[in-house]
């Protein structure tokens, strides 16, 4: 069995690889038997990360969810107590509702805007500069996006409220009012992700073979027919992937809430991940936090499964 210590660094590997290659591949009894040994060597480092920082914590997380653990002592097995407590915890249900609201607003806006932008770019402008400008917000961290809008949307002297007032409308307490707090968080995230998602869809559009459009044109298809019969079916795998990725990411909103409203006003932005964070780290209730995390995990798995299953995201129509 090869070990990670035998892993050559890129430079050494290039200089005298033949010898190493041979000793490592002695097992090669023809290609039919496969490259298992060399494959194990190649995936060894990634495997370490995979096992110790994904698999073990996943199991431990599930275990912790059945315990009471305040970090100081040892975890104490309490069976389903955390889960029954969660079922009766109004703050949990609130966090679920608030997160759902956030995901809905965010995904609907973001996907619609991104699809529109992608089609616009595909039609009139494919320049890298334009795509770069649209991508800029995505390259900024959530914290930066949050603080930037925290300032622009400030009730007193934020520039947006300045405009709103000029338009003759009453100022909006974007972060301070319960009804606006979640839409505001969703808008910040939409702002940050809109261009990125548009670029993903744009790339999907670019991948559609041009001759299909030419054929459609020759057959006298209208723009709408072309869009429905060619663009959408061939774009479907990309759209599904975009949806899966953005929905999953969206459920895990935390950063923007943590640096702006911190769950408030009242409980208006206490999204799931923020609630987990509070229970586990502020209140040192790791068992309870883990149990909510398990529930979030299950929700995400279910959502992804449904999306992949019903939208057949893993099948491409291009073949």
Partner 1 sequence: MTTTTSRAPLPAPARRRRPFNPRRAGAWALLVLAIAVSVLPFLWVLRTALSTNGSLASQSASLLPADFTFGAFLRVFGLQSPEDAIAEGGSGAAIDFWLYLRNSLIFSSITTAGAVFFSALAAYAFARLRWRGRNFVFSLFLGTMLVPPIFTALPNFLLIKNLDLLNTMLGMVLPYVFMTPFAIFFLRQFFLNMSREVEEAAMLDGAKHLRIFFQIVLPNAAAPIATLALLTFIGQWNEYFWPLLVGSQEDVRVLQVGLGVFKSQSPQGAPDWSGLMAATLVSALPVLILFAAFGKKIVNSIGFSGIK
Residues 115-154 that bind partner 1 (CB under 8 A): 116-117, 120-121, 123-125, 128, 130-137, 139-144, 147-152, 154
Tokens of 263: 């769950």
Handedness of CA 274, 277, 283, 287 (dihedral sign): positive
Q: Smallest gap, in angstroms, from Cβ of residue 43 to partner 1? A: 4
User: Token digits for 138?
Assistant: 């995505």
- Whether omega before 226 lies within 30 degrees of 0, making that bond cis, reads no
Counting contacts by CB under 8 A, is residue 24 touching partner 1? yes
Contact flag: residue 258 with partner 1 (CB under 8 A): yes
**Comparison of 108 and 215: residue with beta carbon closer to partner 1:** 108
Q: Would you say 285 and 70 are in contact if contact means Cβ atoms under 8 Å apart? A: yes
What does the per-residue mask of binding to partner 1 show for 44-83, with x meaning CB under 8 A? -xxxxxx-xxx-xxx-xx--x------x------------
Query: Are residues 202 and 127 in contact, defined by beta-carbon separation less than 8 angstroms?
Result: no
**Distance in angstroms (rounded) separating the CA atoms of residues 22 and 27:** 9
Q: Which 237-256 residues touch partner 1, going by CB under 8 A?
A: 237-238, 241, 248, 251-252, 254-255
Residue 279: other Cβ atoms inside 10 A: 24
The least distance separating partner 1 from the CB of residue 239, rounded to whole angstroms, comes to 10
Q: Could you say which residues in the range 274-303 bind partner 1, by CB under 8 A?
A: 276-277, 280-281, 286, 289-290, 293-294, 296-297, 300-301
Per-position b or e across 39-51, b if 16+ CB within 10 A of its CB: eebeebeeeeeee
Decide: is 194 part of the binding site for partner 1 (CB under 8 A): yes
The gap between the terminal CA atoms of the chain, to the nearest Å, is: 40
Q: How far is the CB of 190 from partner 1 (least distance, A)?
A: 10
Q: Which two tokens stand for residue 286?
A: 């790791």
Of the two residues 215 and 230, which places its CB atom closer to partner 1 in the complex?
230
Task: Looking at residues 27 to 46 of the shown chain, list those that interact with partner 1 (rule: CB under 8 A).
Answer: 31, 34-36, 38-39, 41-43, 45-46
Is 205 within 8 Å of 122 (Cβ atoms)? yes
How many residues lie near partner 1 (CB under 8 A)?
A: 109
6/215 with CB nearer partner 1: 6
Of 179 and 283, nearer to partner 1 (C-beta) is: 283
CB of 1 to partner 1, least distance (A): 14
> Rg (Cα) of the chain, in Å, rounded?
25
């Amino acid at each position: 069995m090869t070990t990670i210590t035998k892993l050559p660094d890129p430079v050494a590997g290039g200089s005298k690889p033949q010898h190493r290659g041979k000793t490592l591949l002695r097992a090669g009894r023809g290609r039919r038997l496969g490259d298992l040994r060399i494959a194990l060597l190649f995936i060894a480092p990634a495997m370490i990360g995979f096992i110790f920082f994904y698999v073990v914590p996943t199991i431990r997380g599930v275990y912790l969810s059945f315990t009471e653990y305040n970090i100081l002592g040892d975890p104490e097995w309490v069976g389903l107590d955390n889960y029954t407590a969660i079922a009766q915890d109004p703050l949990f249900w609130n966090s679920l509702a608030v997160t759902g609201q956030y995901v809905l607003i965010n995904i609907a806006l973001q996907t619609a805007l991104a699809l529109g932008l992608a089609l616009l770019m595909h039609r009139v402008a494919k320049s890298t500069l334009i795509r770069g400008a649209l991508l800029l917000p995505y390259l900024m961290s959530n914290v930066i996006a949050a603080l930037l809008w925290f300032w622009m949307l400030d009730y007193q002297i934020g520039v947006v409220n300045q405009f709103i007032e000029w338009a003759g409308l009453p100022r909006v307490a974007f972060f301070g009012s319960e009804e606006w707090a979640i839409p505001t968080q969703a808008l910040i995230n939409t702002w940050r992700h809109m261009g990125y998602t548009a670029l993903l869809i744009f790339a999907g559009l670019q991948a559609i073979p041009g001759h299909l459009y030419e054929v459609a044109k020759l057959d006298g298809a209208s723009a709408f027919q072309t869009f429905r019969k060619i663009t959408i079916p061939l774009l479907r795998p990309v759209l599904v992937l975009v949806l899966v990725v953005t929905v999953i990411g969206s459920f895990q909103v935390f950063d923007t809430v943590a640096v702006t409203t911190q769950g408030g006003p009242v409980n208006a932005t206490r999204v799931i991940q923020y609630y987990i964070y509070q229970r586990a780290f502020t209140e040192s209730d790791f068992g309870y936090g883990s149990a909510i995390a398990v529930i979030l995990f299950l929700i995400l798995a279910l959502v992804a499964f449904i999306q992949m299953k019903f939208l057949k995201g893993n099948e491409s129509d291009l073949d």
